[in-house]
A and B are shown apart, each in its own frame.
Chain A
Amino acid sequence: MRIRTFSRYASPLAAASVLVLALSACSGGSSGGGGSTGGGDAANNLDGRGPITYVQGKDNSNVVRPLIDKWNAAHPDQKVTFKEQSDQADQQHDDLVQHFQAKDQNYDVVDVDVVWTAEFAAKGWLQPLKDKMAIDTTGMLPATVKTATYNGTLYATPQSSDGGLLYYRKDLVPNPPKTWDEMMSMCSIAKQNNIGCYAGQFAQYEGLTVNTAEAINSFGGKIVDDSGKAVVNSPEAKTGLSKLVDAYKNGNIPQDAITYQEEQGRTAFENGKLMFLRNWPYVYNLAKTDGSSMVKDKFGIAPLPGQNGPGASSLGGHNAAISVYSQHKATALDFLKFIASSDTQKFYATQGSLAPVLSSLYTDPQLTAKLPYLPTLLTSIQNAVPRPVTPYYPGVTKAIQDNAYAALKGSKSVDQALTDMQSAITAASQ
């Protein structure tokens, strides 16, 4: 009898919990296989106003919350909620993919890394910013607008930018090199001082794609053309990649650098073990203020050296986009404009050391007093080339990393590496 009573209550209970599980499993992304063209969703809710959610990775420098507070104070009926993701780029990407697949209406405005924009746009997840939803991009750095553009349409507003800088030891080299060859000719000074000459990020990860693309673009090569077709097997690209490979072979790039990501390079530079370092602007403040930094007053910054002048930096940074599934797109659009506004950009720069997307701010005396590297960074970003704008970016970056790494290590000739890179990019883009 007791058993029967138990089972009478247990079965519905279990069935209910199973149902809950099943439902949550379904909403987790059973649509699994990619996206639709999103034509219908993109036309909906253009006039919708109301509360929205802004999704971004971890707010390390506490710039997002004050900004949203400011917005909410001014728009009490269209409040923005902040959904904070992890601080790992891969996890942020996968989180966005899951929510887009589930057509989540609660991801209204999302922060996308510049290299994801094309992929999300091609999957039909981002609201095209045209006609009624158009946004004014005059005054923004052209390279940043390019990262937000796919197939001739703007899909996001540039939110923050980033470019590579050359950190150099001004106590050893009073005038920074302007060209790559000039920099290599200075390496004898490093040798005399028994330190490494030049390093960037050469471990096998995204940083290597950035550095390889810079070498190739700086010498006039291209990785993909405007239609996304691989064109990396060219004499220009070969010259560029050879410069890196030769420098590694002859020791101008120290052996250790093959394990360097951003942080290892920064540590080596701060410990006085490197004469030239290619890195992002974030290093500037740390190298100036870190207690362990031995180069506090001994380093300067310059644009990356190129073939005949400044080289082509790869572009970092983030864009902000509206989800096509958002219910309140009019509010979302206003929020995008708010993010891209001069005031916000200034706040990002002063509070979070984020590089602005508006060129006028790079010479703003108030900002340059706080961030002295801004004018140099402007040169870097003005010469910058976005990494391949392609919806197949994960496959393309893999093709670049693997083959460039093999070339650096000497297990493959530069010619072979570029041939393989070309066919791997082609294979990954089908």
Chain B
Amino acid sequence: MSTQVPPRAASEAATREPHHTPGKESADRRQITQGRSASILLLPTIILLAVVIVYPVVNAIIMSFQKDAGLVNGFFVQGGAAGFDNYTHWLAQQCNGQSCPPGTLGSQFWNAFGTTFFFAIVTVALETVLGFWMAIIMARTFRGRSAVRAAVLVPWAIPTAVTAKLWFFIFAVDGIANSLFGTHILWTGSEWPAKWAIIISDVWKTTPFMALLILAGLQLIPDEVYEAAKVDGASTWQRFTQITLPLVKPALMVAILFRMLDALRMFDLPYIMTQGGNNTTTLSILVVDQIRQGFNSAAALSTITFLVIFIVAFIFVRFLGANAVGAATSAGKK
């Protein structure tokens, strides 16, 4: 905001308080008033955020330190304070002071943790490579380009639950996948086929999203840069590694960050395709299963999941340059 004072305001101020330097005084007050009205304008947003974000998160954290209701004379009564029991239940797999037996949710935490990261890393890696490839094709000028772009979006536009059911049928024993390849794989009946079935479905579904984000980044690169490189005699590969990759990196990192966070809370695909069977339970599935058995342990688990995802996001933003938050401001400065 400039400090220049409109003449009318200045003259008003001058007539009212003649003893002070009129311009500066008025500008100060103006800034205060503006600061106040800014905070009044921001207040609803802040209250709204407090209600829809801070309250649930804080409430979940408080809940996570309470015991789940227990039976007294056949009726459930509130359990009281739990200390860190709900957290050791998951992290140390402790059920009532002993190690959780197989078949309890507590015994599945580290498995689910590993599965979640396995899914996240493999799917995001595949989606990045495929998405990049699709983006480069879509960035070219050719007849029917908009049709291709629209077609690519179709898998992304289908609701995940529908996608999951679709692939559930494709991967049935007598489904399309098996008859197409003449195989007899029990896709949802053993661990690795089930995991790959989920990965394939997820890649099919979300690569378009990746491709579009990367495409947006590609289109920000001016053609002149490529022309200049061509004139200098750079090969296609050199142009890709020296120009495309570095210039598209900010957009690429944001795309990877978004997909990574998405994949870490993956729920519907594995839940519908395998019901979490055959070691395909992700952290989110575990949370939902736990909600049916007790809210407070579920609150602890979702807090842990939240922290895990937060840490991953932090690493991306801080060390890998996925500046999703500050991107707008730095662009504005330019």
A18 at the interface (CB under 8 A from B): yes
Of A21, A90, A150, A401, the residue contacting B51 (CB under 8 A) is A21
Using known A-B contacts A18-B47, A424-B102, determine if residue A259 contacts B186 with beta carbons closer than 8 Å.
Answer: yes
Of B40, B70, B74, the residue contacting A7 (CB under 8 A) is B40
Inter-chain CA distance A21–B189, complex, in Å, is 44
* Highest count of chain A CB atoms <10 Å: which of B52, B69, B104, B291: B104
CB-CB nearest in chain A for B45: A14
Residues of A within 8 A of B37 (CB): 3-4, 7
Inter-chain CA distance A422–B35, complex, in Å, is 65
* Highest count of chain B CB atoms <10 Å: which of A4, A34, A409: A34
Residue contact B104 to A427, C-beta cutoff 8 Å = yes
Question: Which of A35-43, A53-61, A139-147, A167-175 interfaces with chain B?
Answer: A35-43
Residue contact A37 to B77, C-beta cutoff 8 Å = yes
Residue contact A25 to B77, C-beta cutoff 8 Å = no
Residues of B within 8 A of A394 (CB): 289, 292-293
- State how many angstroms separate the Cβ of B78 from the closest Cβ of chain A: 6
* Highest count of chain B CB atoms <10 Å: which of A90, A264, A423, A425: A423
Question: Which of B93-101, B150-158, B231-239 interfaces with chain A?
Answer: B93-101
Inter-chain CA distance A122–B43, complex, in Å, is 44
Residue contact B63 to A14, C-beta cutoff 8 Å = no
Residues of B within 8 A of A124 (CB): 75-76
Of A4, A268, A420, the residue contacting B103 (CB under 8 A) is A420
Residue contact B47 to A15, C-beta cutoff 8 Å = yes
Of B44, B51, B78, the residue contacting A33 (CB under 8 A) is B78
A49 at the interface (CB under 8 A from B): no
Residues of B within 8 A of A33 (CB): 63, 66, 68-69, 78-79, 295-296
Of B48, B78, B186, the residue contacting A21 (CB under 8 A) is B48
Inter-chain CA distance A267–B45, complex, in Å, is 55
Residue contact A15 to B44, C-beta cutoff 8 Å = yes
Beta-carbon contacts under 8 Å, A52-111 to B:
90, 93-94
Residue contact B186 to A11, C-beta cutoff 8 Å = no
- State how many angstroms separate the Cβ of B105 from the closest Cβ of chain A: 7
Residues of A within 8 A of B95 (CB): 427, 430
Beta-carbon contacts under 8 Å, B115-149 to A:
none
Residues of B within 8 A of A409 (CB): 190
Residues of B within 8 A of A267 (CB): 174
Residues of A within 8 A of B291 (CB): 94
B4 at the interface (CB under 8 A from A): no
Residue contact A420 to B173, C-beta cutoff 8 Å = no
Using known A-B contacts A7-B40, A33-B63, A35-B76, determine if residue A406 contacts B102 with beta carbons closer than 8 Å.
Answer: yes
A428 at the interface (CB under 8 A from B): yes
Residue contact A420 to B277, C-beta cutoff 8 Å = no
Using known A-B contacts A4-B37, A403-B103, determine if residue A259 contacts B188 with beta carbons closer than 8 Å.
Answer: yes
Residues of A within 8 A of B274 (CB): 204
CB-CB nearest in chain B for A90: B292
- State how many angstroms separate the Cβ of B85 from the closest Cβ of chain A: 12
Residue contact B48 to A14, C-beta cutoff 8 Å = yes
Residue contact A11 to B40, C-beta cutoff 8 Å = yes
Using known A-B contacts A150-B74, A430-B96, determine if residue A93 contacts B186 with beta carbons closer than 8 Å.
Answer: no
A256 at the interface (CB under 8 A from B): yes
Residues of A within 8 A of B63 (CB): 32-33
A332 at the interface (CB under 8 A from B): no
Residues of B within 8 A of A32 (CB): 59, 63, 295-296
B314 at the interface (CB under 8 A from A): no
Residue contact A395 to B104, C-beta cutoff 8 Å = yes
Residue contact B186 to A427, C-beta cutoff 8 Å = no
B160 at the interface (CB under 8 A from A): no
- State how many angstroms separate the Cβ of A81 from the closest Cβ of chain B: 28
B244 at the interface (CB under 8 A from A): no
Beta-carbon contacts under 8 Å, A113-145 to B:
122-124
B305 at the interface (CB under 8 A from A): no
> Chain A, 18-35, contact with B by CB distance < 8 Å: what is the 0/1 string?
100110010000101111
B275 at the interface (CB under 8 A from A): yes
B328 at the interface (CB under 8 A from A): no
CB-CB nearest in chain A for B55: A25
CB-CB nearest in chain A for B33: A4
* Highest count of chain A CB atoms <10 Å: which of B59, B70, B173, B174: B173
Inter-chain CA distance A406–B107, complex, in Å, is 15
CB-CB nearest in chain A for B103: A424
- State how many angstroms separate the Cβ of B184 from the closest Cβ of chain A: 8
CB-CB nearest in chain B for A267: B174
Residue contact A398 to B79, C-beta cutoff 8 Å = no
Residue contact A420 to B102, C-beta cutoff 8 Å = yes
Residue contact B292 to A399, C-beta cutoff 8 Å = no
Using known A-B contacts A18-B51, A36-B77, A428-B293, determine if residue A403 contacts B172 with beta carbons closer than 8 Å.
Answer: no
Residues of B within 8 A of A392 (CB): 293
Inter-chain CA distance A340–B59, complex, in Å, is 43
Top-4 shortest CB links A-B: A34-B69, A14-B44, A204-B277, A424-B103
Which A residues are within 8 Å of any B CB, using their own CB?
3-4, 7, 10-11, 14-15, 17-18, 21-22, 25, 30, 32-38, 90, 93-94, 122-124, 150-151, 203-205, 255-256, 258-259, 264, 267-268, 391-392, 394-395, 398-403, 405-406, 409, 412, 420-421, 423-428, 430
Which B residues are within 8 Å of any A CB, using their own CB?
37, 40-41, 43-45, 47-48, 51-52, 55-56, 59, 63, 66, 68-71, 74-79, 95-96, 100-107, 172-174, 186-190, 274-278, 289, 291-296
> What are 26 A-B contacts with C-beta separation under 8 Å?
A3-B41, A4-B37, A15-B44, A32-B59, A33-B66, A33-B78, A34-B68, A34-B295, A35-B76, A37-B75, A93-B292, A122-B75, A124-B76, A203-B189, A204-B275, A204-B278, A205-B277, A259-B187, A264-B172, A264-B173, A394-B289, A395-B104, A398-B103, A401-B103, A424-B101, A427-B95
Other 4 A-B pairs with CB < 8 A, given A3-B37, A33-B79, A427-B100:
A33-B69, A394-B293, A405-B277, A427-B96
